[in-house]
């Protein structure tokens, strides 16, 4: 099993001068620490206009800074908003390839579409068509990175003439592709497209097992028709994360922030919002009350406590259950609510020292078995793919000069 860290860049109110800058720099310091400790991935989301919930509107900038400061950890768009209203597909392809070069081939590319009216309405995106818009764009972004030149495209939601989209990524044909998944329907979509599933839902092991069976069942079936030039058959699941040798202290440090993450997400979808005038943190605290000590007492009495918020042994049980469910990567939600930077760093270090090594030791053999098992299914899926036909040299259209040839000749003669 592999491990990642995940950033929404949450900033509950009240906001004091310098809070945003501190938040960004602390997150970058955490990624640097995670790289040094041997974590596999650093994922950064893209959201727009979501007060308190996410201040991560330019992940390409954050991930570039992270890539420049690290050596081994993979930097993942988890996700990039690919609908053309957010980001033109050619600009996404250019940015991904540039980041892949800067990071020496450490980029992962998750495609997403947005879910709230704040985002969709802000960019005039029809909610009923957002999935189709994202899939169309995602497939063409892969083509842009892989083909030289890109032949051009006339689609339902965007069009573009033939151009050579530069630079090209280090990873060939392009970085691994993923898709945000929040329910069983989207896990089916990800598998049918041959992309990894970023499971941004907090599941119990039984539900995780069901998702895994659905996903890999479709990967192995004739329903899988890849949108990329490769198949990335992987499931990554988000987990809560707060680690301490004292379970009660882990709960006191981390559970409030983790709960706020879910509360804020629900509030943005289900409640009316006045832009710039939210009070989600205050509302959350008022509705939550003082539940922390109640949870500490309940956890102390539990016979079989397995959670991402607890001791190293609690975490170990938590991860073994998900590993048995077929999950390939666990992404830790550690920066949430008002969780403190020093507590996050201490938890990252404790996990790396006492839990990570035994899972790391199993990765190579598991990956080899998995690749061997999936190889014939992936080959079959790529044969079903609707490939964009590359252009022969004599098929590449000439782009006419902006100045007429006769005018150029007259100017030269006058000189």
Place of tokens 């406590």: 305
DSSP assignment letter at 20: H
Structure tokens at 82: 């690919």
Is a pLDDT exceeding 60 seen at residue 413?
no
The answer to whether the CB of 120 falls within 8 A of the CB of 130 is: yes
Task: Name the one residue in this structure whose structure tokens are 């099993």.
Answer: 1
How far is it, in rounded angstroms, from Cα 225 to Cα 194? 6
Confidence of residue 291 (pLDDT cuts 50, 70, 90): confident
CA distances from 40 to 5, 45, 76, 302 (A): 8, 17, 10, 32
In the predicted model, is pLDDT for residue 76 greater than 60? yes
H helices present in 88-226, as ranges: 89-102, 117-122, 130-146, 184-193, 205-219
Taking the CA atoms of residue 264, residue 268, residue 274 and residue 280 in that order, the dihedral angle to the nearest 10 degrees is -10
How high does pLDDT run on average in the chain? Answer: 95
pLDDT at 298 over 90: no
What DSSP character marks residue 392? Answer: P
Task: Tell me the helix, strand and coil percentages in the chain, rounded to 5.
Answer: 50, 15, 35
Instruction: List CB contacts of 404: < 8 A, sequence separation 6 or more.
Output: none
pLDDT at 271: 87
The pLDDT, as a whole number, for residue 407 is 62
List all residues 6 or more positions away from 276 whose beta carbon is below 8 Å from its beta carbon: 51
C-alpha–C-alpha distance, residues 394 and 196, integer Å: 37
pLDDT at residue 184 is higher than 80:
yes
Does the CA dihedral 242-245-251-252 come out positive or negative? Answer: negative
Instruction: Give this prediction's pTM.
Output: 0.94
pLDDT band at 408, cuts 50/70/90? Answer: low
């Amino acid at each position: 099993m592999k491990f990642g860290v995940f950033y929404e860049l949450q900033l509950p109110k009240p906001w004091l001068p310098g809070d945003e800058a501190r938040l960004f720099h602390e997150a970058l310091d955490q990624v640097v620490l995670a790289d040094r400790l041997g974590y596999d991935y650093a994922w950064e989301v893209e959201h727009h206009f979501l007060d308190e919930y996410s201040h991560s509107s330019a992940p390409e900038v954050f991930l570039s800074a992270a890539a420049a400061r690290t050596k081994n950890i993979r930097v993942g768009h988890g996700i990039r908003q690919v609908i053309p209203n957010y980001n033109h597909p050619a600009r996404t392809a250019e940015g991904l390839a540039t980041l892949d070069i800067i990071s020496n081939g450490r980029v992962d590319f998750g495609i997403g579409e947005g879910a709230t009216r704040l985002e969709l309405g802000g960019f005039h995106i029809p909610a009923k068509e957002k999935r189709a818009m994202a899939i169309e764009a995602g497939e063409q972004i892969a083509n842009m990175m892989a083909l030289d030149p890109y032949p051009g495209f006339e689609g339902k939601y965007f069009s573009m003439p033939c151009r050579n989209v530069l630079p090209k990524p280090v990873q060939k044909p392009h970085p691994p592709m993923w898709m945000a998944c929040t329910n069983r329907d989207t896990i089916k979509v990800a598998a049918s497209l041959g992309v990894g599933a970023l499971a941004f839902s907090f599941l119990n092991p039984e539900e995780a097992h069901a998702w895994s069976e659905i996903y890999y069942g479709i990967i192995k079936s004739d329903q899988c028709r890849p949108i990329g030039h490769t198949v990335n058959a992987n499931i990554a699941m988000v987990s809560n994360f707060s680690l301490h040798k004292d379970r009660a202290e882990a709960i006191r440090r981390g559970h409030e922030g983790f709960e706020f993450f879910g509360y804020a997400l629900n509030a943005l979808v289900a409640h009316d919002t006045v832009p710039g005038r939210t009070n989600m943190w205050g509302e959350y605290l008022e509705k939550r009350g003082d539940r922390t000590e109640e949870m500490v007492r309940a956890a102390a009495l539990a016979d079989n406590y397995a959670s991402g918020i607890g001791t190293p042994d609690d975490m170990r049980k938590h991860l073994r259950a998900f590993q048995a469910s077929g999950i390939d990567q666990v992404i830790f939600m550690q920066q949430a609510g008002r969780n403190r930077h020093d507590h996050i760093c201490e938890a990252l270090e404790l996990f790396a020292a006492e839990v990570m090594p035994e899972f790391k030791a199993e990765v190579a053999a598991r990956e080899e078995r998995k690749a061997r098992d999936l190889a014939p299914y992936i080959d079959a899926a790529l044969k079903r793919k609707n490939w964009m036909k590359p252009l022969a040299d004599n098929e590449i259209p000439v782009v006419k000069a902006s100045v007429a040839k006769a005018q150029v000749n007259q100017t030269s003669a006058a000189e």
